[in-house]
């Protein structure tokens, strides 16, 4: 008998972006959306169109470009939000309006400052409004897990009558315990008479570290859509990690008896891309995608795995697209060898992009004897940043002098947005400070550097160094990353990357300020 499918709803671009400091530009979101399409997710929540012009643009662009999955646009239960959501979905092959409204008394009384009847009316009328535009309407009862059950049942029945096709039960504040959450879903199934007309969905936050466990418990009792983010990104402690749910379903299909439409071999690439773009590192012991997830350190485990892999491995690393044994390329490797290795790592490049990658590879191979998979990933990330950051300033040249008896001094030459070349210099307390001050003299965007980390990508003295920084302007935080064998060059690249993203996001905000807060 065919196994039932659980739909995978990815909200990395909406709830994931709400993680402090995870802001993304439209080209970056589009790149993630394309990768999510390769991964095979059923629904991509591309943004909250009414919240800002940048979000509107991102939803509209993704709707136009990404044709396979359903594209959802989030809306509060307000007429303008629903209208904006629909407008943003005009180019979509498979549009969905996702209306949400709080149902718990805590939210109704203290945040919405309304009574239950008023909230019920808003839910029904906004679902009807959305239905007037679009066949596919999802309704989320925000803070459902802390809602008085009878009120929740009545609200869900009413919005289904009004046309909702998916009902989402969010554990908005990550408060539930798995058995309790499963009971809530069971009670919804028994007390909402028309619930069998819709897909029942869950959306679990991770405040108690139970986001994935709650989602799995819900699947066991009949939820057929799960919402979450890649790498567990998201508001506060994040959302349920989608790669964990997907591999849980895949690995334990014997027990759960369900399946998904996901191509699991795309998980590794998707996870790295999201980490790379958002600047949120993946902890080494993170399930499924952490660096140590398939590393066996203990002698007994190594012995077992060498004799028979299934002794200590419940998943084949290849099934998530893990690159496996790191192959090494060098100075004498040719274009065909580079292309083959990049394809094995999941990068399928156009002829033009391959030329650019080959140039970068040759430069790197001149500096480093051996170029590993991690080096290639860093190279590809750098190339991606140059293409997608809708580059405002590019670095032409940087020169630094420092030492224990010298005043650190940096000279930088940048090309500006209009193509003009500008050179400036500055001293600083150290070489990085001197570089950043010299860049500031040209770019002139006030900001504060709030985080600076350098990590070595591979072992050895000639390793590539990767710099991740965060800069703050007002309340907004912007991440920047750069990689190079010279960490001062990597630091300069990271700073320019952050400034270019800051300028792009400020530009997107400027056009028509709306100022709607995120859910
Ligand atoms: O956590 C939540 O309740 C949400 C809703 C908008 C679905 O993100
Ligand atoms: Zn959420």
389 pLDDT band, cuts 50/70/90, is low
**405 vs 168, higher pLDDT:** 168
Among 230-244, 320-334, 355-369, whose mean pLDDT is lowest? Answer: 320-334
Ligand 1 neighbourhood includes 170 CB (under 6 angstroms):
yes
513 pLDDT band, cuts 50/70/90, is very low
The neighbourhood of ligand 2, an ion, using CB within 5 A, equals 15
Q: Distance from the CA of 410 to the center of ligand 2, in angstroms?
A: 45
Q: What is the pLDDT of residues 70-82, one digit of tens each?
A: 999 999 999 999 9
Report the alpha-carbon distance of residue 114 to residue 107 in Å, rounded.
9
Fold type of domain 4-278:
TIM Barrel (3.20.20)
Instruction: List the alpha helices (DSSP H) in 401-456.
Output: 431-443
The DSSP symbol for 229 reads B
State yes or no: pLDDT of 390 exceeds 70.
no
State yes or no: pLDDT of 195 exceeds 90.
yes
Q: Distance from the CA of 142 to the center of ligand 1, in angstroms?
A: 6
Which of 364, 346, 343, 231 lies closest to 291, judged by CA?
A: 231
Nearest atom, ligand 1, residue 15 CA? 8
Q: Is 492 exposed, middle or buried (0-12, 13-18, 19+ CB in 10 A)?
A: buried
* Residue 20 confidence (pLDDT): 84
Q: Is 154 exposed, middle or buried (0-12, 13-18, 19+ CB in 10 A)?
A: middle
Report the alpha-carbon distance of residue 143 to residue 441 in Å, rounded.
48
Q: What is the mean pLDDT of the chain?
A: 93
Report the alpha-carbon distance of residue 167 to residue 147 in Å, rounded.
15
Structure tokens at 88: 């943003």
Ligand 1 neighbourhood includes 100 CB (under 6 angstroms):
yes
467 pLDDT band, cuts 50/70/90, is very high
Please tell me whether the overall predicted TM-score, pTM, comes out greater than 0.85 for this model. Answer: yes
Q: Distance from the CA of 243 to the center of ligand 1, in angstroms?
A: 19
Ligand 1 neighbourhood includes 519 CB (under 6 angstroms):
yes
Domain residue limits, the chain:
4-278, 294-322, 324-386, 390-510
* Sign, Cα dihedral of 195, 196, 199, 200: positive
Q: Distance from the CA of 229 to the center of ligand 1, in angstroms?
A: 12
Among 21-35, 173-187, 298-312, whose mean pLDDT is lowest? Answer: 298-312
Report the alpha-carbon distance of residue 472 to residue 207 in Å, rounded.
25
Q: Distance from the CA of 204 to the center of ligand 1, in angstroms?
A: 9
CATH architecture of 390-510: 2-Layer Sandwich (3.30)
Conformational region of residue 184, where left means phi above 0, alpha means psi within -120 to 50, and beta covers everything else: alpha
Ligand 1 neighbourhood includes 49 CB (under 6 angstroms):
no
**3-state secondary structure at position 91:** coil
Structure tokens at 26: 């439209």
Q: What is the pLDDT of residues 104-120, one digit of tens each?
A: 999 999 999 999 999 99
């Amino acid at each position: 008998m065919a196994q039932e499918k659980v739909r995978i709803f990815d909200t990395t671009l909406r709830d994931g972006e709400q993680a402090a400091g995870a802001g993304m530009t439209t080209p970056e979101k589009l790149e993630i959306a394309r990768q999510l399409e390769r991964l095979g997710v059923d629904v991509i929540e591309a943004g909250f169109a009414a919240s800002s012009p940048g979000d509107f643009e991102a939803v509209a662009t993704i709707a136009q470009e990404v044709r396979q999955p359903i594209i959802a646009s989030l809306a509060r239960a307000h007429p303008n939000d629903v209208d904006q959501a629909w407008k943003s979905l005009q180019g979509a092959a498979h549009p969905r309006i996702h209306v949400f409204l709080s149902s718990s008394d805590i939210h109704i009384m203290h945040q919405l400052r309304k009574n239950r009847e008023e909230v019920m009316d808003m839910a029904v009328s906004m679902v009807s409004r959305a239905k007037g535009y679009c066949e596919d309407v999802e309704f989320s009862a925000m803070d459902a897990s802390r809602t008085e059950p009878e009120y929740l049942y009545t609200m869900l029945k009413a919005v289904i009558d009004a046309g909702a096709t998916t009902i989402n039960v969010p554990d908005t504040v990550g408060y539930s315990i798995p058995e309790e959450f499963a009971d809530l879903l069971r009670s919804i199934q028994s007390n909402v008479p028309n619930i069998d007309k819709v897909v029942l969905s869950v959306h679990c936050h991770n405040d108690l570290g139970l986001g994935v466990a709650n989602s799995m418990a819900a699947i066991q009792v009949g939820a057929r859509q799960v919402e979450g983010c890649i790498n567990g990104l998201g508001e506060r402690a994040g959302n349920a990690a989608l790669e964990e749910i997907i591999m849980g379903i895949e690995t334990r299909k014997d027990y759960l008896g369900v399946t998904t439409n996901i191509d699991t071999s795309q998980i590794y690439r998707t996870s790295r891309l999201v980490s790379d773009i958002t600047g949120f590192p993946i902890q080494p012991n993170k399930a499924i995608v952490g660096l140590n997830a398939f590393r066996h350190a203990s002698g007994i485990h190594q012995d077992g795995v060498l004799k028979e892999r299934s002794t200590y491995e419940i998943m084949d690393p290849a099934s998530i697209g893990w690159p496996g044994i790191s192959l090494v390329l060098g100075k004498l490797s040719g274009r065909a060898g580079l292309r083959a290795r990049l394809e094995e790592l999941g990068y399928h490049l156009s002829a033009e992009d391959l030329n650019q990658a080959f140039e970068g590879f040759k430069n790197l191979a001149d500096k480093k004897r051996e170029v590993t998979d991690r080096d290639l990933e860093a190279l590809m990330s750098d190339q991606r940043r140059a293409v997608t950051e809708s580059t405002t300033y590019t670095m032409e040249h940087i020169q630094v002098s420092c030492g224990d008896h010298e005043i650190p001094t940096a000279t930088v030459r940048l090309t500006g947005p209009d193509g003009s070349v500008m050179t400036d210099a500055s001293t600083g307390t150290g070489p990085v400070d001197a570089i950043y001050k010299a860049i500031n003299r040209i770019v002139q965007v006030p900001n504060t550097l709030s985080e600076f980390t350098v990590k070595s990508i591979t072992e050895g003295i000639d390793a590539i160094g990767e710099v991740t920084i965060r800069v703050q302007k007002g309340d907004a935080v912007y991440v920047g990353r750069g990689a190079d064998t010279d960490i001062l060059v990597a630091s300069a690249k990271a700073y320019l990357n952050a400034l270019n993203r800051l300028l792009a996001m400020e530009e997107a905000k400027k056009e028509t300020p709306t100022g709607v807060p995120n859910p």
